[in-house]
Amino acid sequence: MIHSLFLINAAGDIFLEKHWKSVVSRSVCDYFFEAQERASEAENVPPVIPTPHHYLLSVYRHKIFFVAVIQSEVPPLFVIEFLHRVVDTFQDYFGVCSEVIIKDNVVVVYEVLEEMLDNGFPLATESNILKELIKPPTILRTVVNTITGSTNVGDQLPTGQLSVVPWRRTGVKYTNNEAYFDVIEEIDAIIDKSGSTITAEIQGVIDACVKLTGMPDLTLSFMNPRLLDDVSFHPCVRFKRWESERILSFIPPDGNFRLLSYHVSAQNLVAIPVYVKHNISFRDSSSLGRFEITVGPKQTMGKTVEGVMVTSQMPKSVLNMTLTPSQGTHVFDPVTKLLSWDVGKINPQKLPSLKGSVSLQAGTSKPDENPTINLQFKIQQLAISGLKVNRLDMYGEKYKPFKGIKYMTKAGKFQVRT
Amino acid sequence: MAASPAYGEEKGGSSSLGEPEYGHDPASGGIFSSDYKRHDDLKEMLDSNKDSLKLEAMKRIVAMIARGKNASDLFPAVVKNVACKNIEVKKLVYVYLVRYAEEQQDLALLSISTFQRGLKDPNQLIRASALRVLSSIRVPIIVPIMMLAIKEAASDMSPYVRKTAAHAIPKLYSLDSDQKDQLIEVIEKLLADKTTLVAGSVVMAFEEVCPERIDLIHKNYRKLCNLLIDVEEWGQVVIINMLTRYARTQFLSPNQNQESLLEENAEKAFYGSEEEDAKDAKAEAASLAKRKPYVMDPDHRLLLRNTKPLLQSRNAAVVMAVAQLYFHLAPKAEVGVIAKALVRLLRSHSEVQYVVLQNVATMSIKRRGMFEPYLKSFYIRSTDPTQIKILKLEVLTNLANETNISTILREFQTYIRSMDKDFVAATIQAIGRCATNIGKVRDTCLNGLVQLLSNRDELVVAESVVVIKKLLQMQPAQHSEIIKHMAKLTDNIQVPMARASILWLIGEYCEHVPKIAPDVLRKMAKSFTNEEDIVKLQVINLAAKLYLTNSKQSKLLTQYVLNLAKYDQNYDIRDRARFIRQLIVPTEKSGALNKYAKKLFLAQKPAPVLESSFKDRDHFQLGSLSHLLNAKAVGYQELPDWPDEAPDPSVRNVEVPEWTKCTIREKRKEKVEKPFYSDSEGESGATESADSEPESGSEESGSSSSSGSSSSGSEEEEEEEEEEEEHSEEQSEDKEEEEEKRLKRKEKEGSRKAAPRSVGSPSEEEEEEEGAKKSKKKKALQGRKGRAETSSEEASTSESSSSGSDSGSEAETKRRKAPPSSKAGPKEISLLDLDDFTPPPPQPIPSSSIVSTSLVTDLEGLTLTDTSLTPTLLSPAFGTVKTYELLHRMAGEGLAVEYCFSRRPFPGDPHMVAVQIQISNNTDAEVKNLRVSEPKPLSGMRIQEFPEIESLAPGDTASVVMGIDFCDSTQAANFQLCTHTRHFYVSIQPPVGELMAPVFMSENEFKKEQGKLTGMSEITEKLTLPEKCRSDHAIVQQVTSAANVGRVPCGASNEYRFAAKTVTSGSLVLITLERREGGAAQLTINSEKMVIGTMLVKDISQALAQ
């Protein structure tokens, strides 16, 4: 299956390679560099590149290309999904996944990769098992290791691989037993010029942070499970019980994990919590244009909209923008032509606005299209779909855990066409 | 470059050590320092006694490997440490070994003995890791050692070691493919493994080593299907892909019959003929039934059912694998379920989107309707990467139809103004495709594109010209205006492809624009020398065409152009000019071709077809690399076509181990000797305890019931047995085999609810017939003959315990005279149990008609039902009862619940189907207050709950009966099963054959009723009976096992008749099976409940086909 893995940074240096079968020369990456050159942007590099003897499958994350080399037919998603899992594992191990961090922890990275695949076939991809095999570096442990000369390789054997719940370590102990669940919903929307919604849907996830002693068995029920139209679960969730009772029943992994992601059925009307008033015009005659946007709340269920951020990709012919915001800060990058305005909180009494003029390259005709406005925002303590967790129960352990549930609504891919 | 990154890594390690002599970076000096000195410090560290130094050295070596630097010269120093005590050093040495062993084969052999020792370690994890490293060392010399190690590990106690063995198989195979045969043996052995841990890995090995040996899968097919959900996600992908291929070779296409029909319908719907929708459902049902029957193999169904939940997986690869399985294997009507899951994946990373969209694009060509509801999910955002935009555009175009085209075009309109010009060009092409596919919007599109011609961006204009050209070719006559407009564009447009397209258009349709064409030629002649090659060629073409049609105006111009071309730098253009001159300008030399010049140049040219590039890509297995690349990748396994004839499905049956056979035999012996009035309850307890296998609950009930019922019927049987011992022997043999199969299936298939009704044992059926005759002296017996398969557990309920006391013949006679006073009413008649286990001799059938007529009269007196119908409700003609799982032991947290349709009228309400529920407590605590609560019946459905079970001791099993009025539909009844602690949602879905109760009628009555139920109510089906199903008793038994019907006497020997009434509405269901020459047969079902009729036809023909 997966022969080799190359990690390539933005500058085109191969800074890590790992082979699970015979060694594949790194010159195979030349084909990748060619493709990279052809594609103007990193995200346009085709994920699958055929070469005479190999196929290169790549994912691009954290400004690093993870290029897997395969030699024969294998479902491309299999490899891509695995590569993403590798990135997630690194993130889990080191907090962030960047070139510097990987270089600093090259031995741990190498050991982790060694455990993740055997002969190119995934072996242990659950981060709980991996952490049992190879302990992630922490500041404390680094200090201890340098003093005592001990190691970050677990000295007990990886019993997790043998258990029926491979995602959970055995012998977990906490003094404070807590289980937190974050219900996060994202609104994906396209709003057209006139402010009417072209498409809007809600995607949600429930992220959990469970720190419970022993082998707890949790059940989580919803007040209105019918809202969930399409769900996908962490492998720990018992599918049968969901099917029959609409209850999430699971033995949780230890630590942070994504319990569930869901989609709220399209039949439900989606409340759009903000609106954008815009007036962007370029005049043909002069090299000046007008630019004005106002952001305001709409259907917010009485909550404040925070963390509002407006970004917009200006046409190439825009030279500069002279704008004054009524609140927040704005930046226009004349190279990438990206305008971003960090608005912050929306005060319904005094709506934030950004006004000013746009100077265009002299001599060019006015751009045909107005820029699209991308919006980000956050609303705390609100799940816009109305989803509510009913209760959380624990079986199998005697102690009383502390339980908490938080709701949040965010903008996903929220675009306003102008 | 060598130095700087190396230093970066070093700072964490060596500097902290505080030993300056080792502090400098070994790699940094690598390039320039002389070779012998290289890595000396590392060697020194490895040779030291301190583990910490060794570890430090190993870390630095591994870091070098990771960076792709050569560390092979350290091999001798490293390999010495293979037996090091420190786990981390050891691990890093392993890493090093695996990387360099191939290059240093001789030295690598030094390490082998360590691993061989490891293979014998008592700890399974050490055994596994030793095998893992040993098999990863690519040294051909150790192949025999590896082979041995793999073989040994394959029969290891620990599943984890077996899994590692499975992983080792492809490694060895790639090292030495001569070992294939031996490896296949190991694979075969591991395929039989029952643990989920092994399943994924061994299938992976199978795919790499011997994907062609599909025969190895047969015996493991059902197991793999059932294990699937618990296998780890990567294994799931591999197994699903393999099973897709397997299913393509073993099952029939589920769409073979509907294909033509559905395609037609789809087309019609597409063109908007509304009346199609109003098609009478009844007519449809009838027409469907007339078609050759397609019965899905239950194993095929099993695969589809068991993979479906995996669509909910968080792993995109698993979802895609299931999606492709459904696309390739499921009946058309069911493929739709995958759309939602695939659309969900579009929220994922862009690489995942890329792959998924490619597959959606292919699917959306074949099954447009599937993705139509999700149209908006494919709308394009300005932030999408271009490659994603273009794929989404492809999907949108594929999904366009008359109803949604206006919204799609409006969307396209916004896309055209995008800054991303590649994307705009793709959008214009997409508009062109929509215009060719949907005639209604062709003009709108064309107008829109013409407007784009005045766009400021030249690329947009050029692309539009090219697309307009293609569109105009379809109907040039109506669009001379556009052609004129385009002619004007030649002044401005510079993109060669666009100029060439315009020139071609004008040349081709010069008669539509007679005034403009020569002028364009004039202009082009002026600029000829500055044009691109493709434009020049088109100028020559234009000149030639004009010369032929309008030589007066263009003769000189043409000459001029040809002269220019004659001296062009490009030889193609010179050639073309010469060729054309000869062809069109008549000279003495020019031959006969001149006459045909007009025909040559101005021939009608077919319009180009604008097609998706994804058309026909589905001959590659979806989700595969080959599909993505649209080219066969190395090692791609072709997805075979469906076979025309299904291969023998019995290959998937798995034999029963020897011991089962023995127990059955023993039980039977025991049973025969039972006292006549035995206490069935006690007896059942005995048999159950004898049966040690807790899983096979179904078997328990089956066997114990038989022993229980033997008590009632044993008198006659004993006689019979004497008379026809030989025959019964034979029968019993048969029966045993059958029983085995059934047993095995049940054991294997655990949760397979909708599995085909298992084949009843022939002897049981025989006994029915038999009993009928025997009852000349005790006719009533016949009347009351219960379903033979009343399990003894049932007898433990209050209701049936009374039957126990009735089972004597004396009691029967009494009963016949004095109708039972209990509320159970007439149904109680059936409570008499007959043995279904001891095989009675078969008897010729015809005589039964005599019996039955007399019986009718007898029974008429007995009838207590409020129904005044002449045909009497007869207690069911028995059959092997198939048990279904209601609640699996795992899901129920130790509580296992199974149910079966006892085919016994439900006491208290004649409109209810009796469902016998068997609850066993596998936990180690008592389960209290077992009851049904909150039934949520669908409209009209009613559920009569069973009395609450106070408590159920650990290990105990209780059996209860509940009644459900299914309203003659096969809708599932949903309710909650409660214990004192938990609630389980469960549902019972009845097979259609259980929705009826047998009625007794005479031949004449049957014919009379049948006469009333013709036309729409009659469904006929032709089928072929397999060899083993041609005997009288086999047919009767198959039919009665498929449905709860009663036999109706019949004069003709090649005809079989059955009658039943639906439980709720009491509608008659009449079944006629006419046997013809060879194996042919015709099945006719008359019933005013058409749905039931249609489904019944299916079920019965399926049962008969087995």
Window 789-848 of B: residues touching A by CB (8 A cutoff) are none
Asked if residue A163 lies in contact with residue A124, where contact means CB atoms within 8 angstroms, the answer is no
In a domain, B849, yes or no: no
Q: Give the count of alpha carbons within 13 A of B1099, CB side only.
A: 29
Greatest alpha-carbon span in chain A: 77
- Tell whether A114 and A214 lie within a shared domain: no
**Closest residue of chain B to A106, computed from CA coordinates:** B63
Residue of B nearest to A157 (CA): B125
Using alpha carbons, select from B839, B665, B708, B847 the residue that is nearest to residue B762: B839
What is residue B1005's predicted lDDT score, i.e. its pLDDT? 81
Residue B768 has a pLDDT of 46
pTM: 0.66
Are residues A244 and A388 located together in one domain of the fold?
A: yes
Tokens of A411: 């903008």
pLDDT exceeds 80 at position A24:
yes
Choose from A31, A51, A62, A78 for mutation: most chain B CBs within 10 A.
Answer: A78
Residue B1082 and residue B976 in one domain: no
Would you say residue B751 has pLDDT above 70? no
Q: How many CB atoms lie within 10 A of CB B666?
A: 11
**Residues A251 and A324 grouped into a single domain:** no
Q: What is the pLDDT of residues B662-689, one digit of tens each?
A: 444 444 444 444 444 444 443 333 333 3
**B835 HSE (CA, 13 A, CB side):** 25
User: Is residue A170 one of the residues assigned to a domain?
Assistant: no
Give, as one character, the DSSP assignment of residue A169.
Answer: -
Q: Per-residue DSSP letters for B397-452? A: HHH--TTTHHHHHHHHHHHHT-S-HHHHHHHHHHHHHHHHH-GGGHHHHHHHHHHH
CATH code at position B63: 1.25.10.10
Residues in chain A closer than 8 A to B985 (CB atoms) = 244-245
Instruction: Determine whether the interchain pair B383/A122 forms a contact, defined as Cβ–Cβ distance below 8 Å.
Output: no
Give the range of the structural domain holding residue B528, as residue numbers without chain letter: 495-604
Is the Cβ of B635 closer than 8 Å to some Cβ of chain A?
yes
Give DSSP secondary structure letters for B858-904.
HHHHH---S---SSEEPPP---PPPEEEEE-TTTTTTEEEEEEEEEE
State which residue of chain B sits closest to A47, comparing Cα positions: B351
Residues from chain B contacting residue A80 (CB–CB below 8 Å)? 316-317, 349, 351-352, 355
Same domain assignment for residues B505 and B561:
yes
Residues above pLDDT 70, as percent of chain B:
71
Size of interface A-B (CB pairs under 8 A): 252
Q: Which of A53, A71, A1, A6 is nearest to A33 (CA)?
A: A6
Residue contact A368–B455, C-beta within 8 A: yes
Q: Note whether B704 contacts A: Cβ–Cβ < 8 A.
A: no
Give the minimum alpha-carbon distance from B6 to chain A in angstroms, rounded to a whole number: 9
- Interface membership of B984 toward A (CB under 8 Å): yes
Indicate yes or no: CB of A109 within 8 angstroms of CB of B315.
no
Domain presence at residue A162: no
b/e map B74-111, b = 16+ CB within 10 Å: bbebbbbbbebebebbbbbbbbbbbbbbbebeebbbeb
Question: Tokens for B75?
Answer: 């091999």
34-73 in A: which are within 8 Å (CB) of B?
41, 43-44, 46-48, 50, 55, 58-61, 70-73
Q: Are residues B182 and B199 in the same domain?
A: yes
CA nearest B377 in A: which residue?
A: A199
Q: Say what the pLDDT of residue B23 is.
A: 39
- Percent pLDDT > 70 in chain A is 90
Percent of chain B residues past pLDDT 90, beyond the cut: 5
B window 1013-1032, beta carbon within 8 A of A? none
**Exposed, middle or buried: residue B798 (CB in 10 Å: 0-12, 13-18, 19+)?**
exposed
Same domain? For A278 and A300 the reply is: yes
DSSP per residue over A325-370, as a string? Answer: ESSSEEEEETTTTEEEEEEES-BTTB--EEEEEEEE-TTSPPPSSP
Whether residues B77 and B224 share a domain: the answer is yes
Query: Could you tell me the residue range of the domain that residue A25 belongs to?
Result: 1-146
Chain B hits for A119, CB-CB cut-off 8 Å, are 135-136, 167-168, 170-171
Least confident of A232-241, A363-372, B739-748, B993-1002: B739-748
Position B1013 in a domain = yes
Same domain, A289 and A361: yes
Reported as a single tens digit per residue, the pLDDT across A320-353 is 888 898 988 999 988 888 899 998 888 888 889 9
**B1020 and B939 within one domain:** no
Indicate whether B113 and B184 sit together in one domain: yes
| Interchain pair A258, B456: CB under 8 A | no
Q: What is the CATH number of the domain that holds A23?
A: 3.30.450.60
B-interface mutation test, from A94, A107, A337, most B Cβ less than 10 A away? A107
**C-beta separation of B561 from B528 below 8 A:** yes
Among the ranges given (A54-68, A186-200, A207-221, B658-672), the one the predictor scored with the smallest mean pLDDT? B658-672
Please return the burial class of B810, using the count of CB atoms within 10 Å of its CB with bins 0-12, 13-18 and 19+: exposed
**Are B1051 and B982 contained in the same domain?**
no
| A53 shares a domain with A42 | yes
Lowest model confidence (mean pLDDT) among B340-349, B434-443, B620-629, B768-777: B768-777
A31 touches chain B (CB under 8 A): no
Predicted local distance difference test score (pLDDT) of residue A58: 92
Indicate which CATH number applies to the domain containing A189: 2.60.40.1170
Query: How many domains would you assign to chain B?
Result: 4
The answer to whether the CB atoms of A151 and B88 lie below 8 A apart is yes
Same domain, B81 and B192: yes
User: Residues near B1052 by Cβ (< 8 Å), separated by ≥ 6?
Assistant: none
Q: Which of A258, A286, A268 is nearest to A357 (CA)?
A: A286
Sheet with B957-965: list strands edge to edge: B883-887, B895-905, B913-921, B957-965, B942-944
**CB spacing of A77 vs B636 below 8 angstroms:** no
Instruction: State the nearest Cα–Cα gap between B460 and chain A, in angstroms.
Output: 12
Chain A (179-218) residues lying within 8 Å, Cβ to Cβ, of chain B: 188, 190, 192, 198-199, 201, 203
Cβ-contact B583, B596 below 8 angstroms: no
Indicate whether B267 belongs to any domain. no
Task: Kindly state whether residues A192 and A212 are assigned to the same domain.
Answer: yes
CATH number of the CATH domain containing B1096 = 3.30.310.10
Q: Do B385 and A44 touch (CB under 8 A)?
A: yes
- Domain contains B696: no
What count of Cα atoms within 13 Å lies in the side-chain half-sphere of residue B646?
20
pLDDT of B1047 over the 60 cut: yes
Q: Which of B230, B250, B270 is the last residue of a domain?
A: B250
Q: A347 to chain B nearest CA, in Å?
A: 28
For residues B1104 and B65, what is the distance between their CA atoms, to the nearest angstrom?
A: 66
Asked if the Cβ–Cβ distance from A15 to B987 is below 8 Å, we say no
Q: Higher model confidence: residue A138 or residue B701?
A: A138
Q: How far apart are CA B703 and CA B692, in angstroms?
A: 13
Q: Are residues B980 and B1000 in the same domain?
A: no
Is a pLDDT exceeding 60 seen at residue A2?
yes
Contacts of A104 in chain B (CB under 8 A): 8-9, 12
Burial class (CB in 10 A: 0-12, 13-18, 19+), B613: exposed
Q: Are residues A311 and A392 in the same domain?
A: no
Is the CB of A374 inside 8 Å of chain B's CB atoms? yes
In chain B, residues 351-390 whose CB comes closer than 8 Å to chain A: 351-352, 354-356, 373, 376-377, 379, 381-383, 385-387
CB atoms within 10 A of CB B451: 11
B860-898: per-residue pLDDT in tens? Answer: 433 333 333 333 344 444 445 677 888 777 777 778 888
Number of domain units in chain A: 3
Residue B63 sits in the same domain as residue B78: yes
Q: Do B351 and A74 touch (CB under 8 A)?
A: no
| Arithmetic mean of pLDDT, A25-41 | 88
- Listed as own residue / partner, the contacts of A102-107 with beta carbons closer than 8 Å and 24 or more positions apart are A102/A7, A102/A15, A102/A16, A102/A64, A103/A15, A103/A16, A103/B5, A103/B8, A103/B9, A104/B8, A104/B9, A104/B12, A105/A137, A106/A16, A106/B9, A106/B62, A106/B63, A106/B66, A106/B67, A107/B59, A107/B62, A107/B63, A107/B66, A107/B92
* Banded model confidence at residue B293, pLDDT cuts 50, 70, 90: low
Cα(first)–Cα(last) distance of chain A, in Å?
Answer: 47
Residues of chain B found within 8 Å of residue A233, distances taken between Cβ atoms: 312-314
What's the pLDDT band for B993 if we cut at 50, 70, 90? Answer: confident
Are residue B225 and residue B211 in the same domain, yes or no? yes
Q: Residue range B693-703: average pLDDT?
A: 41
**Distance, CA of A377 to chain centre:** 16
pLDDT of B619 above 90: no
B96 belongs to a structural domain:
yes
The phi and psi torsions of A47 (rounded to 5 degrees) equal -65, -20
Give the residue from B990, B1022, B1051 where a domain finishes: B990
- What pLDDT does residue A148 have? 58
Q: Measured between CA atoms, how close is B218 to chain A, in angstroms?
A: 24
Bridge partners, B676 (sequence order): none
Q: Which of B52, B411, B891 is opposite residue A241, by nearest beta carbon?
A: B891
A137 contacts in chain B (CB < 8 Å): none
Judged by CB atoms closer than 8 Å, whether chains meet at B125 and A59 is answered as: no
Q: Chain A window 324-363: which residues touch B at a Cβ cutoff of 8 Å?
A: none
Average pLDDT, chain B: 72
pLDDT at site B211: 86
In this structure, the answer to whether residues B998 and B1080 fall within a common structural domain is: yes
Inter-chain touch B167–A232, beta carbons under 8 Å: no
Asked if the structure places residue A160 within a domain, the reply is no
Q: Which of B48, B54, B42, B51 is nearest to B6 (CA)?
A: B42
Residues of A in contact with B387 (CB under 8 A): 44, 46
pLDDT in tens, B358-379: 999 998 888 888 888 888 889 9
Both A350 and A369 in one domain: the answer is yes
ipTM for the complex?
A: 0.91
Residues A187, A242, single domain; the answer is: yes
Q: Are B465 and B498 in contact (CB under 8 A)?
A: yes
Residues A245 and A262 in one domain: yes
Interchain proximity A73–B16, CB inside 8 Å = no
Show the 3-state SS of B55-96.
Answer: HHHHHHHHHHHHCCCCCHHHHHHHHHHHHCCCHHHHHHHHHH
Residue of B nearest to A417 (CA): B414
First to last CA, chain B: 72
A364: phi then psi, degrees, rounded to nearest 5: -85, 155
Closest C-alpha to B748, from B702, B699, B691, B705:
B699
